[in-house]
Chains A and B, each alone.
Chain A
Amino acid sequence: SQQGEEDPQALSIQEGENATMNCSYKTSINNLQWYRQNSGRGLVHLILIRSNEREKHSGRLRVTLDTSKKSSSLLITASRAADTASYFCATDAARETGTASKLTFGTGTRLQVTL
């Protein structure tokens, strides 16, 4: 079952602008991850933030996590046309050491970056 809700569902911005996507989830997590999916392709991992972290950066990406509010945000700065894709948050629930992860994906945000 889907756990995360993302907003907005769709976002259209111009190249050079910043894009912010939000994710909310319902249960305790081990970590939260963000993935990108280009049309007709598989998902590509962008960034992972652990439950004991509050902010993380990777290039033009900035992720925040607020476990008290069960929410996360993804900021893409200085967007480019190539950033056009769907973005999904995914939560990895707490589990035992040595076991495989079990991701539950949010509903996704479709980002359109125009020239």
Chain B
Amino acid sequence: DTEVTQTPKHLVMGMTNKKSLKCEQHMGHRAMYWYKQKAKKPPELMFVYSYEKLSINESVPSRFSPECPNSSLLNLHLHALQPEDSALYLCASSQVWGNSNQPQHFGDGTRLSIL
């Protein structure tokens, strides 16, 4: 079991639907991340939240809308997605970098299919 929980595990949606992916951690981490991973490829960073504020947006299309309601939760709102958006979406969390370097803790992801 991972310490970062993502729901749902699988999601199938049409291109006109609106859905949300959820991520939760209770490790006290103040940085949270969204990644997109296509099959047999490495994860690609989408967004970074630091202390509940968006600090990095890797030029992600506006049909993906992140939200960090509190220090434990991270959402990714989806609207009008395209078939090429089908992928595994991974959430991760970490300590904010201070005097020591900290690894990221990943959830098991949401496998998203766009019809």
Question: Which chain A residues in 7-46 approach chain B with CB under 8 Å?
Answer: 30-31, 33, 35, 40-45
Q: How big is chain B's contact interface, by range? A: 20 to 34
Identify the closest chain B residue to A89 (Cβ). B42
In the complex, A101 Cα to B50 Cα: how many Å?
9
User: Are A42 and B42 in contact, CB atoms less than 8 angstroms apart?
Assistant: no
State the interface size on chain A (CB cutoff 8 A). 29
In the complex, A95 Cα to B102 Cα: how many Å?
13
Name the residue in A30, A35, A88 with the highest tally of chain B Cβ atoms < 10 Å from its Cβ: A35
Identify the closest chain B residue to A33 (Cβ). B103
In the complex, A56 Cα to B12 Cα: how many Å?
43
User: Are A99 and B97 in contact, CB atoms less than 8 angstroms apart?
Assistant: yes
User: Are B105 and A101 in contact, CB atoms less than 8 angstroms apart?
Assistant: no
Contact of A42 among B45, B97, B102, B106 (CB under 8 A): B106
Excluding A100-B94, A101-B101, A105-B42, 7 further A-B contacts by CB distance (< 8 Å) are A41-B108, A42-B2, A42-B92, A48-B103, A102-B45, A107-B42, A108-B42
